[in-house]
Amino acid sequence: MYQLQFRDVLSAWNLFLDGLLLTLGLSGIALGGGLLLGIAVAVTRVYGPGWAARTVSVYIEVIRNTPLLVQLFTVYFGLPSLGIRIPGLYAAMICFVIYLGAYLAEIIRAGIEAVPQSQKEAGACLGLSGYQVFRYVVLVPAIKDMFPALASQFVFFMLSTSVVSQIAVSDLFHMGSIVQAMTYRDFEIYLLIGALYLALALLFRAGFATIYLLCFGGDE
């Protein structure tokens, strides 16, 4: 009967910690950059001129309908054929921001368009500028409605960051592979990695729930 043995696996805790920190760093960069890109794309699609709206629509459709791994391989392995070489870590950052931005853009666009036209007209009647109407009348209420969807999308994305192990970026999953080659304790290693990803997901969900309560008071 198979017996679990975590001693050798846990002795490499520093490798798992390094991988965990890199996963958190990549996820944080992707969230910040993807959110900014998503807002810009959503605003362009809703308020931009026709050609710009069509351009960002193509971007959204292409990114959302192709695998993240294919996009990552295209940047890391494909671009060198054109004389453009990007280190693995930076290739991952670029791909993650572009990928997450496309998904967040659709969530943000839906939130913006869900704000009643009457509220926008009321803001204009109060003498607010177009920017002020967008910021205070459209964006702030929309954030409350789309916050749960944004949080869920980010957590789902964070779990997908393990694809960077395919280009030898030392994230949590890649470090687990290194420890596996050292200890040959496959089951224990991937059981531990799964537990760490689960803990990260639960931690992020709890964090986003706390932020929501602090910002919006838990109002439905």
For the stretch 107-118, pLDDT in tens is 999 988 888 888
pLDDT at 61 over 60: yes
Contact (CB, 8 A) for 143 and 79: no
Percent of the chain with pLDDT over 90: 68
Pairwise pLDDT comparison (140 vs 71), residue with the higher score: 71
pLDDT value for 2 = 77
The mean pLDDT of the chain is 90
The CATH number, out of the four listed (3.40.190.10, 1.10.3720.10, 3.40.50.150, 3.40.50.1110), of the domain defined by the range 7-114+127-216: 1.10.3720.10
pLDDT at 137 over 90: no
Distant-in-sequence, close-in-space partners of 218: CB < 8 Å, separation ≥ 6: 212
CA–CA dist 17, 172 (Å, integer):
8
pLDDT value for 30 = 94
Average pLDDT over residues 17-38: 94
**pLDDT category, 142, cuts 50, 70, 90?**
confident
Question: Beta-carbon neighbour count of residue 101 at 10 Å?
Answer: 24
pLDDT value for 220 = 46
CA–CA dist 113, 53 (Å, integer):
14
Contact (CB, 8 A) for 103 and 122: no
Q: Which two tokens stand for residue 155?
A: 């957590």
pLDDT at 219 over 60: no
Average pLDDT over residues 115-130: 79
List the domain boundaries for the chain.
7-114+127-216
pLDDT value for 218 = 53
